[in-house]
Structure 1
């Protein structure tokens, strides 16, 4: 298999094709992709997020006490996962595209991290937990980047935000589900295992079932799902419309180096800042509610549930707006601005009730920030190899935040440093999004001038992919 995805960076004039497109039939095919593909993404990313972020629930359920773990050691085990998670993001995507069938590669990853999660019940020390977290990071490392690249095989840019919202919403539901399970497990007073180990056992078994499901039934390409002659014709037409801007899909050093531009650099800044918020908030939310806001052990578990449900619902609405308006930057800026208000409240007020309300404001960017920024980059990058490399680098370097955020959330019970650091990152992110949106507008202006004048004086541009004058960037 080659490192290839089939996505068009622009809309296509229907009248320019040899035959008119059957819009209704194409929408029906897209919905078929949704029914057959999105459930796999949602379920698998649900368990990916659950198995990474349940560490906070486990601490509240008694893990830190049973393992004689200090707050600093807990921060370390939250961070260390990313020592193996980050390095495998880029090579994992390359390996899948070059050598592996998606169903087997994704399914094997899920099964592997599920087994590690289950075997966490044998952990009896801080050192052993470090090893477990490193293995989880190793097994999950390239999963999100592979999933993101696979999605571009099926959908056009203006179709991506809504679909990515589905699996990020699944991630938010994993927080709610984790909170519900942890609430029940916290009440367990008997059994051969400590209560927090039941958390890992139950979630690991569920993840294992999901991994087997993906391994057997996940579709390897859009063409596997196109069965009828009408579907094949429509998919061939979609491929043709996409192929205009694909260029050579084989490994290319020039395309690899072309990925390292200012757009990727700004995107990485945005991703890092948003990941600081996502990882800090999702990992420490149960602990913040218990230690920082004064709720008891049981309340700290179940009060996380409505927060995550709201975060998922907001992302669905915001992603739909983004797709309909064909705008990314303004939606990102709005969500980030509301979250900034939330962190200011966390730092400025003393009332636990008001602080709890502030957690709901943070939901406006919790999943939107990382998800929509990733889709923004994917929508505005072509051809295929450059896109895959850009997505992987963006996620890899952005996920450095996963190692950083636990280190700033050390000052229990108020976590002033963690909240202040996150607030600063979101402010930086706000300016970075504005810069990115302005830059894309300038590129669109340049492309329009070239099309109108017929003169292209650029000497270093590749003149294809996202450098083609017909390419229209989503701002």
Structure 2
């Protein structure tokens, strides 16, 4: 039997023994191949997201170094700039993912990085309020396509249960950005007066220029899809196609259709994924944007506050990776989201209940350590569960768009007149985290109910679960409505 036919026959059976046999036949070590993919794909993508989060949140560090005073802005005007960033972000996420689907990752993703790097750099030379709000809006538009685009991109390389850990590693760059941002802001602020510029201007200029430089490298770092990746041998490409063919829809030849876009909008579960992120985005972004201010209001100097933002983010990074590993190994999503969110709730209870510096600072640890691991799983969930390709691409973008509406609200909550206790902001964040637990519990129940219904259909029709022969199903595969498709809960 020809080799291609043997692979097809193995794909149709999709049993562990057949998979192992195929591995031996082509002489490829699956674990070594996965490590190769991780080393080639994840570092550049993670660096790009670190820069993205750094360029959107460094405005909090710049404010602490006198930006608002130099631009003659009120506290409310500063908040308006934060809000406009997220409005631009929300409005352009779905169009950006359509652009990704209709072009290629190697062209689309680095170009987005280049554009926002230029905008981020120009933030350092704005002279008035109009320049500030224009630049923040443009930055939101330019950054909107990276995260949903990368989540979709990774779903085209990895099996379903492998995606979550990779998305979590990618998202962990957000907590690293918080840690690096504090250190960089502390160091760069000492450049005050260099070139006649204030320290806060150098924060934007240097970090923005770094993004521009990295965007140029990204044109060489970012690959398209497994079938054309230059770093893979022909045998490795075939084997990746074999793995994915028997696990998800990424190897199917699916062209873009508007009916698939509408299918995403009509699916209640997609809206629930969006609501799950919506209830996390408000605490996520308010914490990242306002942590330097929150800590400075505890009685610390600006320089001390910049450095004190580092430890909470460092702990959050460690927990994000650890919880992702546990979630992947147990094949469970909802329990880890709810548990992490509960930890975040404890952080805001401490911030609300006791304003002693030590207690409130401890609260920032619990808040960050709960929010970041939960968000990582929430953002990976639709990539695991939504099929086919166009629907998943749109679902990823919808989730971020719906989610970031929470950030739009959050940017207006930490108002100057509510300092130093910030009851309004902390109270909303706590309420949103409690709502997240409720939404995730509802989604968990919905997914379990649909899995049970699919099990009854499979039993009645005598078909196999776990995507057994989806790769060979040709036109009769129904995406995530197919009874062979099992939702991860």
Any gaps of 5 or more consecutive residues in structure 2?
Answer: 1-12, 464-475
Q: Is 2:290 aligned against 1:284?
A: yes
Residue aligning to 2:448: 441
Instruction: Find 1:414's aligned residue among 418, 421, 428.
Output: 421
Residue aligning to 2:10: none
Q: Is 2:354 aligned against 1:346?
A: no
**How do residues 323-402 of structure 1 correspond to structure 2 at under 5 angstroms?**
323-402=328-407
Q: Is 2:37 aligned against 1:33?
A: yes
Instruction: Give the aligned CA root-mean-square deviation in angstroms.
Output: 2.1
- 3-state SS of paired residue (1:54): helix
Residue aligning to 2:109: 106
Instruction: Find 1:14's aligned residue among 13, 16, 34.
Output: 16
Deviations 1:121-147 (A, max 9, x none): 221111110011011112112111111
Residue aligning to 2:466: none
Residue aligning to 2:488: 474
| Counterpart-to-counterpart distance in 2, 1:370 and 1:103 | 26
> TM-score, normalising length from structure 2?
0.89
| Counterpart-to-counterpart distance in 1, 2:70 and 2:178 | 23
Q: Per-residue deviation at 1:214?
A: 0.4
| Counterpart-to-counterpart distance in 2, 1:245 and 1:314 | 30
Any gaps of 5 or more consecutive residues in structure 1?
Answer: 1-10, 457-461
Judge conservation of contact 1:336–1:364 (CA < 8 Å) in 2.
Answer: no
Moved more, 241-250 or 419-428: 241-250
Q: Per-residue deviation at 1:88?
A: 1.2
Moved more, 447-456 or 62-71: 447-456
Q: Per-residue deviation at 1:276?
A: 0.4
| Counterpart-to-counterpart distance in 2, 1:372 and 1:245 | 21
| Counterpart-to-counterpart distance in 1, 2:247 and 2:372 | 29
Report the CA distance shift for 1:51/1:18 in structure 2 as closer, same or farther (over 3 A).
closer
Judge conservation of contact 2:286–2:410 (CA < 8 Å) in 1.
Answer: yes
Deviations 1:3-56 (A, max 9, x none): xxxxxxxx9423456953349612222211111110111110010000001110
Judge conservation of contact 2:49–2:174 (CA < 8 Å) in 1.
Answer: yes
**How do residues 41-190 of structure 1 correspond to structure 2 at under 5 angstroms?**
41-98=45-102, 100-190=103-193
Q: Is 2:256 aligned against 1:251?
A: yes
Report the CA distance shift for 1:305/1:18 in structure 2 as closer, same or farther (over 3 A).
closer
Instruction: Find 1:208's aligned residue among 205, 212, 220.
Output: 212
| Counterpart-to-counterpart distance in 2, 1:160 and 1:50 | 24
Moved more, 162-171 or 186-195: 186-195
Judge conservation of contact 2:168–2:380 (CA < 8 Å) in 1.
Answer: no
- 3-state SS of paired residue (1:20): helix
- 3-state SS of paired residue (2:23): coil
| Counterpart-to-counterpart distance in 1, 2:217 and 2:440 | 38
| Counterpart-to-counterpart distance in 2, 1:156 and 1:86 | 28
